[in-house]
């Protein structure tokens, strides 16, 4: 049965066999936790869609006073099998430790990404800021943002670093590594291909009920 422990251990109930057999109190506990995650922002609502992010507790790194952690989410409704196009969203939390000295305040200048798919193909991306922002980090400050990437394989991973400068001196530049984080289609009773096809079939059915037709 699906229990609150499963949710806390980052099991995605929508793609878990346990969800199919969860009954009674276990479902109530799961639903209560799910609602809490939505209300608290753990599962953010973006463009009227709930993103169920999974956080790997080992995917956290600290460099000096800066702490980076990453959560990921697979979006089957935006993915396809033919042609292969697997869409993932990731949410990054950047935090400056509360005990940091005020003179260590800094600002993010740029980012660098190394993106590797399941076949070992590598793409490198670098540019200013993060999603158009240049967050200033002071002791206790937290900055979170959401972005996305796609793969031609059902899984892949990303890693990289941010470049900062101290507010006290723009010449005092330093880099903060971003921990490697993996993105993969979550486990289900069927293959990843069947999972994506199932979502698309359901979308087609819903559109037909509304009298809407068209290619997907």
Q: 120-163 pLDDT, tens per residue? A: 999 999 999 999 999 999 999 999 999 999 999 999 999 999 99
What is the side-by-side strand order in the sheet with 86-96?
Answer: 54-63, 66-74, 86-96, 142-151
- Specify if 201 maps to a domain: no
Domain count, the chain: 2
Split at pLDDT 50, 70, 90, the class of 172 is very high
Identify any residues that bridge with 78 across adjacent strands, giving them in sequence order.
none
Query: 75 and 178: one domain?
Result: yes
The verdict on residue 133 lying in a domain is yes
Shared domain check, 182 and 99:
yes
Q: How far apart are CA 160 and CA 147, in angstroms?
A: 14
Compute the distance between CA of residue 13 and CA of residue 34 in angstroms, rounded to an integer: 10
Stronger pLDDT, 1 or 24, i.e. the higher one: 24
Q: 182 and 152, same structural domain? A: yes
Round the CA-based radius of gyration of the chain to a whole number and report it: 20
Domain extent at residue 97: 53-188
Say yes or no: 41 and 138 in one domain: no
Q: Which of 106-110, 180-184, 203-207 has the least mean pLDDT?
A: 203-207
């Amino acid at each position: 049965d699906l229990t609150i422990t499963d949710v806390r251990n980052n099991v995605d109930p929508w793609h878990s066999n346990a969800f199919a057999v969860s009954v009674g109190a276990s479902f109530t506990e799961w639903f209560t936790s799910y609602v809490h995650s939505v209300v608290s922002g753990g599962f953010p609502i973006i463009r009227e869609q709930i993103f169920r992010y999974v956080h790997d507790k080992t995917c956290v790194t600290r460099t000096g006073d800066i702490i980076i952690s990453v959560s990921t989410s697979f979006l089957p409704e935006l993915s396809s099998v033919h042609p292969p196009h697997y869409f993932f969203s990731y949410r990054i939390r950047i935090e400056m430790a509360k005990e940091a000295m005020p003179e260590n305040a800094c600002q993010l200048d740029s980012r660098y990404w190394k993106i590797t798919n399941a076949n070992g193909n590598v793409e490198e991306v670098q540019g200013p800021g993060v999603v158009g922002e240049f967050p200033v980090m002071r002791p206790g400050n937290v900055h979170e943002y959401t972005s996305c990437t796609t793969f031609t394989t059902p899984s892949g991973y990303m890693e990289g670093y941010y470049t900062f400068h101290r507010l006290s001196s723009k010449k005092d530049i330093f880099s903060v590594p971003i921990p490697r984080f993996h993105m993969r289609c979550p486990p289900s009773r069927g293959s990843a291909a069947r999972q994506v096809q199932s979502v698309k079939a359901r979308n087609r059915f819903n559109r037909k009920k509304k009298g809407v037709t068209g290619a997907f």
